[in-house]
Amino acid sequence: MKYAPLKSINDLNKVKNQTLKSIEMRLTDVEKEIDKYHILVCAGTGCTSSKSNVVRNRLIQELKKRGLSDKVKVFKTGCFGFCKLGPIIVIHPDHTFYCKVDPEDVDEIIDKHISKGKVVEKLLYRSPKDNMLKKRMDEMDFFNHQKRIALRNCGVIDPEDINEYIAMDGYKALANILTENKNPEDIIEEVKKSGLRGRGGGGFPTGKKWEYAKSYENDKKFVLCNADEGDPGAFMDRSILEGDPHSVIEAMIIAGYSINAQQGYIYVRAEYPIAVDRLEIAIKQAKESGLLGENILGSSFSFNLDLRLGAGAFVCGEETALIHSVMGLRGEPHPRPPFPAEAGLWEKPTLNNNVETYANIPIILNKGSDWYSNIGTEDSSGTKVFALAGQINNTGLIEVPMGTSLKTIVYDIGGGINDNKEFKAVQTGGPSGGCIPKSLINTKIDFKSLTDIGSMMGSGGMIVMDETDCMVDIARFYLEFAQDESCGKCTPCRVGTKKLLEILEKITKGKGSMKDLEILKNLCYDIKDSSLCGLGQTAPNPILSTLHYFEDEYISHIKDEKCPAGVCNDLLKVVISDEKCVACGICARVCPVNAITGETKKPPYKIHQDVCIKCGACIPKCPVDAIYKR
């Protein structure tokens, strides 16, 4: 599709009104019968990997075959968040939410839903709470406790059509600024008043950051977007870029206007091919529409935007390392001061914000800072997107107001723990964060409260753990990650995190001593205190927080040489219950190392511990569940 260049706010409004008419059915409950359908197919990475693209193509093909192409339109859309249920499609105007849609289901959807107006029940979501089928998103607990601001357009619009973004008040904030020739100070003041804080992890007040970047005059200045989302399991930024790339682009243009920069870069991971693709399409369409490039909307303001792909180093999420990487250097941090606001890209003043931070900007400027600051807590206004994962029923992407309690997230949105196991802890902040124990489940999450209890907001990873998770092993996992991702520049991080990891490995093997625990603690403090960048300074957090709340687990590993959660293999034995064993001999046949001996029909069989490699192959094969780890 070719987009005509928009020369003024009136042009923009025209596009808005036209497009709005066509997508109105998605946004409201249409009273009157209309004979048209929109099928929105999630085209995020999660659903795409479970073949939502095949579903979409099949839909288009079948509709065409049946001559329904004019009546039913199929769209790509961004992430709905309920990723566990993917592939997800939503049919408008009746807002029917179908989950786990297989390409094979396409015929039934068309025949039943489209042709006869009947719901395909087998594709509806069944709530584990009341065992009832739920048709619409607003009937589901998963969505009801959420407030989608940054994700406002994900699952609503087609991210590959700029006009749909415009229909949702997209580029309105920018158009107002340019039309009214607004004072940059006033824009920055508005951002400051909103109380928006950096969503990348640090939580630095965004308005203040813009103010600093504005205060350094230079012939060249830059606006950067940090889309190098690296926390294991986190995909907040990816979903925004895949579902609503224009919100980030618009915000960056506004940021450029506010600090007097004419060039921006989005630093995005190459492992996000869909996001990269959508961004490229969005930039192209924005340029065609006259919303990016020279003389935006016919004004005197020009701003260019380019992508820079990162090779997936975690440290490149650190802003100075990111800047090095954008310049084509090895991704390594450098000491601050000078801060990027003073000397960043090519030593020029540079403003760097995270994807989610940017996604909030246009709506803040449209609805006003008061509206935004009324959401959330005093310390942290607005909402936060989390990637909810772990031992929980509903995994996926959620956005909640700041101040929502962990309990609401785990039990209401998350639907509680898998298999009714006992909840143990929530890990937030990824490799830089910590574990929050059950006793603190009523904590209302915002920047301050999470830091106060030894964790941190981070970029939004949230992993729920239950009784089968070993906290020492969790700490070990994160340290392995930190050591692997350390850029190797400063001593505490390069060597220190390795030494932490080695001590943890010793402990998980039952070879640790209480002296090791002391060395571990001291080294944690020194690494935190003296590392060069945030990666090193926060790398010990997973150890410190688990040590603080779960010290008994460490001590069990050391003194009793036992792993209470039954995770650490070296401390476990695979044993056969004498009472349960029926001497069928299956286990002995499965064992790859012939560690099990016994005589058929003469129980019990026995596992020779000196031979057993603890692979666990025998456990699921036992017909009477007589084999277990302890």
Partner 1 sequence: MENLTEKEQKNLKNEKVTINIDGSDYEVNKGLTVLEAARSVNIEIPSLCYLKDVNEIGSCRVCVVEIDGTRNLQASCVYPVREGLKIKTNTERVRRARKTAVTLLLANHHRECTTCIKNLNCELQNVSDNLGIRNIPFTGEMKDYGLHNNNPAIQRDYNKCINCRRCEAICRKIQECNVYSALNRGLDTIIAPAFQKDLADVSCIMCGQCVIACPTGSLTDKEYIDDVWEVIKDPNKHVVVQTAPSIQVTIGELFGMPIGSFVAGKLVTSLKRMGFDKVFATDVTADLTIMEEGSELIERITKHPDSLPLLSSCCPGWVKFAEHFYPEFLPNLSTTKSPHEMCGALTKTWYAKKYNIDPKDIVNVGIMPCTAKKYEAQRPEMVSDGFRNVDYVLTTRELGRMIRQIGLDFANLPDSEYDEPFDQYSGAGMIFGATGGVLEAAVRTAHKLITGKEAKVPDFNDARGQSGLKYGEVTLGDKNIKIAIAHGTGNAKKALEMYKSGEKKFDYMEVMACPGGCVGGGGQPILGGKDHKYISLSYRHNRADTLYNIERGKNIRNSYENQRIKEIYKEFLKKPLSDISKEYLHTSFISRSKTPYMKSDK
CB 610, min distance to partner 1, A: 26
* Nearest-5° Cα angle at 266, 51 to 151: 55
Give the nearer residue to partner 1 in terms of CB position, either 313 or 626: 313
Give the nearer residue to partner 1 in terms of CB position, either 51 or 334: 334
Residue type, 537: Q
Give the nearer residue to partner 1 in terms of CB position, either 195 or 496: 496
Give the nearer residue to partner 1 in terms of CB position, either 365 or 500: 500
Q: How far apart (Å, rounded) are the C-alpha atoms in residues 244 and 248?
A: 8
CB 489, min distance to partner 1, A: 5
Asked if 226 and 378 count as a contact pair (C-beta separation under 8 A), the reply is no
CB 471, min distance to partner 1, A: 22
CB 345, min distance to partner 1, A: 18
DSSP code for 445 = P
299 strand-pairing partners? none
Element spanning 470, H or E: none
337: CB partners within 8 A, 6+ apart: none
3-state SS, residue 422? coil
Asked if 65 and 15 count as a contact pair (C-beta separation under 8 A), the reply is no
Dihedrals phi, psi of 224, to nearest 5 degrees: -120, 145
448: CB partners within 8 A, 6+ apart: 379, 380
Say what angle helices 355-367 and 184-194 make with each other, to 10 degrees.
100
Asked if 474 and 523 count as a contact pair (C-beta separation under 8 A), the reply is no
How far is C-alpha 244 from the chain's CA centre? 14
CB 268, min distance to partner 1, A: 20
Give the nearer residue to partner 1 in terms of CB position, either 311 or 611: 311
Give the nearer residue to partner 1 in terms of CB position, either 110 or 479: 479
- Which tokens belong to 343? 């000397």
Q: How far apart (Å, rounded) are the C-alpha atoms in residues 126 and 133?
A: 4
Give the nearer residue to partner 1 in terms of CB position, either 144 or 215: 215
Report the interface residues with partner 1, using CB under 8 A.
313, 330, 332, 334-335, 337, 483-492, 494-499, 502, 519, 522-523, 526-532, 537
Give the nearer residue to partner 1 in terms of CB position, either 483 or 541: 483
3-state helix/strand/coil string of 52-87: HHHHHHHHHHHHHHCCCCCCEEEEEECCCCCHHHCC
CB 326, min distance to partner 1, A: 18
436 strand-pairing partners? 426
Give the nearer residue to partner 1 in terms of CB position, either 56 or 489: 489
3-state SS, residue 423? strand
